[in-house]
Amino acid sequence: MQVDLRILRFDPERDAAPHWESYRVDAEPMDRVLNLLISVKADQDGTLTFRRSCAHGICGSDAMLINGRNRLACKIRVDQLGRKITVAPLTGLPVMKDLVVDMDGFLAKYRSVMPFLIADTPPPERERRQSPADRARYDDTTKCILCAACTTACPSFWAQPSYVGPAAIVNAHRFIFDTRDDAGDERLEILADKDGVWRCRTIFNCVDACPRGINITRAILEVSRAVVERTV
């Protein structure tokens, strides 16, 4: 089948502003948008620029705005989108070129919640014990691949770019609810800030966007509750 692919293009060395370009591409229903982008780059326009690596939804390189929703290009199929497909870069992060956005600010927010295990006691000879039930408490939030689809789908982030954003809260959750971690209070302190959890308006865009199926809103609610109670 033939697909009409519209892509928001921007080359800082040539363009004053982003503009739409259209391409006709031969596609199979099971093809993913990434296949289409690769085929345009190979056969029609070698300057088309996007990030990609794993091509199966695990590295987080290719989140973009596809038919109005944030999706990984390597995970969304043509048969889920139809014959007209539009692709644009993620909203709210500076565009470097075409579909490539500057991730530095996003990653700085991730780093701001201290996304690493902090244990006060010296490690034992063997593993620290953790029951399967305790392990399950934070299982969902270990799945994050830092693709930025959630944060850049969030109206609160668009309105207030200093908002730490759902991805950072998800990663804070992963440690706050880990029984081996002793720095939950410090993270809660950070997230109690005006740019922390309170900016969440439970709009659920993040949940729709997350390619890993993480229940982000629930994670944010659990963190918010912990901020209020200051107990984890």
Partner 1 sequence: MRIDHDALVVGAGGAGLWAALELARAGISTGVLTKLYPTRSHTGAAQGGVCAALGNQEEDHWEWHMFDTVKGGDYLVDQDAAEVLAHEAIETVIELEHMGLPFNRTPDGKIDQRRFGGHTRNFGEAPVKRACFAADRTGHMILQTLYQNCIKAGVHFYDEYHVVDLLFEGGEGGDGGRAAGVVAYRIADGELHTFGAKAVLLATGGNGRMFSITSNAHSLTGDGMALAYRHGIPLEDMEFYQFHPTGIYGIGILLSEAARGEGGTLLNSEGERFMARYAPKAMELAPRDMVSRAIYLEIRDGRGIGPKKDYVYLDVRHLGRAVIEEKLPDITEFARVYLGVEPLTEPVPIQPTAHYAMGGIPTDLRTRVVRDEMNTPVEGLFAAGEAACVSVHGANRLGTNSLVDLLVFGRRAGREMTAYCRAATLPAIAPAVEEPVRAELEALRTRPDGESPSALKDDLATLMMDNVGVFRTAPMMAAAVAGVAQIKERYTRVRVRDTGRVFNTDLLEARELGYLIDCAEAMATSAISRTESRGAHSRDDFPERDDVNFLAHTLAYRGEAGPSLRYKPVTITRFEPKPRVY
C-alpha 128, offset from chain centre = 30
Binding to partner 1 (CB under 8 A) within 163-182 occurs at 175, 178, 180-181
- Least distance in angstroms from the C-beta of 54 to partner 1: 5
Please answer whether residues 90 and 70 qualify as being in contact, where contact means their C-beta atoms are separated by less than 8 angstroms. yes
227 interface partner picked from ligand SF4, partner 1, ligand FES, none, CB below 5 to 8 A per type? none
195 interface partner picked from ligand SF4, ligand FES, partner 1, none, CB below 5 to 8 A per type? none
Applying CB under 8 A, which part among 16-24, 136-144, 150-158, 196-204 lies near partner 1?
136-144
Give the end-to-end CA distance of the chain in Å, rounded to a whole number.
53
72 interface partner picked from ligand FES, ligand SF4, partner 1, none, CB below 5 to 8 A per type? ligand FES
Pairing of strands 84-88, 63-66: antiparallel
Nearer to partner 1, 108 or 203 (CB): 108
- 45 binds partner 1, rule: CB under 8 A: yes
- 212 binds ligand SF4, rule: CB under 6 A: yes
Please answer whether residues 136 and 85 qualify as being in contact, where contact means their C-beta atoms are separated by less than 8 angstroms. no
- 132 binds partner 1, rule: CB under 8 A: yes
107 interface partner picked from ligand SF4, ligand FES, partner 1, none, CB below 5 to 8 A per type? partner 1
49 interface partner picked from ligand SF4, ligand FES, partner 1, none, CB below 5 to 8 A per type? partner 1
- 33 binds ligand SF4, rule: CB under 6 A: no
Q: Which of 33, 76, 200, 209 binds ligand SF4 (CB under 6 A)?
A: 209
Nearer to partner 1, 159 or 189 (CB): 189
- Count Cβ neighbours within 10 Å for each residue of 159-187 and write b for 16 or more, e otherwise: eeeebbbbbbbbbbbbbbbbebbebbeeb
Q: State whether residue 203 is helix, strand or coil.
A: coil
> Pick from 171, 184, 180: which is nearest to 212 by CA?
171
- 62 binds ligand FES, rule: CB under 6 A: yes
Q: Where are the beta strands (DSSP E) in the chain?
A: 2-9, 19-26, 63-66, 69-72, 84-88, 95-97, 100-101
| DSSP codes of every residue in 32-97 | BHHHHHHHHHHHT-TT-----SSSSSSS---EEEETTEEEETTT-BGGGT-SEEEEEPPTTS-EEE
Contact set with partner 1 (CB under 8 A): 11-14, 30, 32, 41-42, 45-47, 49-61, 75, 77, 96-98, 100, 103, 107, 111, 114-119, 123, 126-132, 135, 138-139, 142-143, 145-146, 175, 178, 180-181
